[in-house]
Structure 1
Amino acid sequence: MALAPDADEKMRLICVVGARGGGKTPGLRIPRGYYGNSVVFPAAVSMAGDLCSNPVGYAVELVREAKGMVDAEYVRSVADLMVLRGRPHFTAVRSFLLSELTKAGFGDLDLGWGRPVYGGPAKVGPGVFPGVMSFLIKYTNAGGEDGIIAPLSLPRPAMDRFVEEMGKLLHAPVDHIAAAARQRAAL
């Protein structure tokens, strides 16, 4: 809504899902000695008009469904695609990639100079990943209250609209979210 896209534009929220063989992908085997990333990027896709005209629960459900598609067969299919098409880049147009770093385990880590204060991207903003990528990061405020932050870079007019829309969302009754959850449970 903040970017005010045309109603007929296709929008994507791309998730980063680990594929190292645990959880829903137990049949996968990463080669011994490989210590790099092993991830896939399922996407929640919707027309902008549908995102803007439906309650936030609509978008939440799309993300849940996209992440729920990831199983061992999905990961193998992505690996095959990468081999056949030469590792194509994901679609960046009207896309936003979100990676969760809240379970990265930085809290108990001590490399000799104390516990970490922050774990996430070193720099965000235009020129780095201009409004295309962000991370969910654990954060403890000065009052000791734990939470999650997601750095976001938008052009100034869009940021003003984003703040306004978030204000509406945070002050709106959450009945529509609970109703969507009940409807999903009934299925």
Structure 2
Amino acid sequence: MDSCIQELHFSHLHIPVTINNKFLVHPSSPTPANHSPHHSLYLSNLDDIIGARVFTPSVYFYRSTTDPSNNRDSLVLKRLQDALGQVLVPYYPLSGRLREVENGKLEVFFGEEQGALMVSANSSMALADLGDLTVPNPAWLPLIFQHPGEEAYKILEMPLLIAQVTFFTCGGFSLGIRLCHCICDGFGAMQFLGSWAATAKIGKLIADPEPVWDREAFRPRNPPMVKYPHHEYLPMEERSNLTNSLWETKPLQKCYRISKEFQCQVKSIAQGQDSSLVCSSFDAMAAHIWRSWVKALDVKPIEYDLRLTFPVNLRTKLETLKLRKGFYGNVVSLACAMSTVDSLMNDSFAKTTRLVQEARVRVTEDYLRSMVDYVEVKRPKRLEFEGKLMITQWTRFEMYETADFGWGKPVYAGPIDLRPTPQVCVLLPQGGVDYGGGQSMLVCLCLPPSAVHKFTRLLTLNDCT
């Protein structure tokens, strides 16, 4: 394998976890929700689009603390709990619940059973028993709390933040978080997490920037004006073997460490084939992953239309709407590149990269407004997977820098298991105390066992033409 690409392997193991306690954490002082028995909050169509109606799970591992006392676990838990109670004052919407109102629209409400859920647990294993802590491992699922028998995609009347602290015999611990995507996107989640961590580390409330709700800024126009086709949300007839090959087999989660040099090399190949192409490293890498994935899966028929989607952060692209600093809601829209199987496999790599680049550039404030209006008119009810690969980019999130609660940066920060949504590829930053940071990234995705060898070979640029 190319020296700039390293296939990463994780341990297949069972982690015994015992839940010790579950309790709700409430804001430590009164909030606007306390002032009215019928207080509710508006969510924009960016917040309650079908793709945001999920919990985003992530886990953070920390080495042994310096405190060797027998009550170390309770001290760690108390610091996290106290800080969360303080942070939930300015971030009080996270203590609420979701409900549907007219036409299936969501809103945040506040009832008797409000508050974030914290879970205390312990394991009879040590962190060293978990194997490589730099690559996401589906075996870590017990470190993320789920209610017994919990329905998939259930978000209504659920705690919007669920945090499980699991203590290991070595003195280390993990913080497993499930955060409702309706409340914040990735950048908003990092803002909240950074406030929680800083508050825990210093011992007093740190909310800089001050959180801003302002979801009304993205209300639909009256009347709605849908100006673009929004192929990212359109249902498509499944006439290919793509979905079945991933959902009817037991896909394997595979991860590759990609060096910065390799990313630059892929970009250079695309621009070398087309001197007029102005693209980013992401454009080229996304095109390369997409082509390699489709070729490895041997998608048929060749005239079938495929879609590559990826979220685009609009915070810096808003021209007429100026969001206040501290806005932590969803400000993303999906870009969508389209190609037939035949074109994707046989056209030049530069042409595929241009498709990605044009899709990314197409997502403007005007496109975002159109998408908000599209949701208002159509209100999609299901996730569309037909012919689609979605690439989600976590490399710009400062997950390691923001997650120091007073015990140093985490050894690992990120997702766990991609297999429930096997048509998603996640790009992760390479960081943590073991690796020491750097500009490499992890490419994590799911593949049928029969496609792994071919995808790995294609990823190493053996067929990037």
* TM-score class, shorter: 0.7 to 0.9
2:310 corresponds to 1:15: yes
2:410 corresponds to 1:119: no
Change (3 A) 1:144 1:73: closer
Alignment of 1:42-53 (within 5 A): 42-53=335-346
Deviations 1:68-122 (A, max 9, x none): 0011110000000011111454531110111111111124221222213333322
- Decide which of 441, 445, 448 is 1:155's aligned counterpart: 448
Deviates more, 1:152-161 or 1:88-97: 88-97
Change (3 A) 1:139 1:71: same
**CA RMSD, 1 decimal:** 2.6
Alignment of 1:3-152 (within 5 A): 3-5=297-299, 6-19=301-314, 22-28=315-321, 35-89=328-382, 91-109=384-402, 110-125=404-419, 128-130=420-422, 132-140=423-431, 142=435, 146-152=439-445
How many matched pairs? Answer: 167
2:291 corresponds to 1:2: no
Change (3 A) 1:33 1:23: closer
Query: Could you tell me which residue of structure 1 aligns to residue 123 of structure 2?
Result: none
Change (3 A) 1:31 1:85: farther
In the alignment, structure 1 segments of 5+ residues that lack a partner are 177-187
2:337/2:359 contact within 8 Å kept:
yes
The runs of 4+ residues in structure 1 deviating greater than 4 Å are: 29-34, 140-145
1:81/1:87 contact within 8 Å kept:
no
Greater fraction strand: 2
Partners of 1:88 and 1:34 in 2: CA distance: 27
**Deviation of residue 42 (structure 1)?**
1.3
CA radius of gyration, larger in: 2
Amino acid at match of 1:112: G
Q: SS of 1:91's equivalent?
A: coil
Change (3 A) 1:104 1:144: closer
Deviations 1:115-160 (A, max 9, x none): 13333322122xx112x11211111485865301111111011222
TM-score relative to the length of structure 2: 0.33
Alignment of 1:164-179 (within 5 A): 164-167=457-460, 169=461, 171=462
1:11/1:46 contact within 8 Å kept:
yes
Partners of 2:326 and 2:332 in 1: CA distance: 17
Amino acid at match of 1:133: V
2:430/2:437 contact within 8 Å kept:
no
Deviates more, 1:56-65 or 1:32-41: 32-41
Query: Could you tell me which residue of structure 2 aligns to residue 180 of structure 1?
Result: none
Change (3 A) 1:116 1:24: same
**Deviation of residue 36 (structure 1)?**
3.0
Partners of 1:111 and 1:26 in 2: CA distance: 36
Deviates more, 1:42-51 or 1:27-36: 27-36
TM-score relative to the length of structure 1: 0.77
Change (3 A) 1:159 1:15: same
Partners of 1:88 and 1:67 in 2: CA distance: 25
2:400/2:413 contact within 8 Å kept:
no
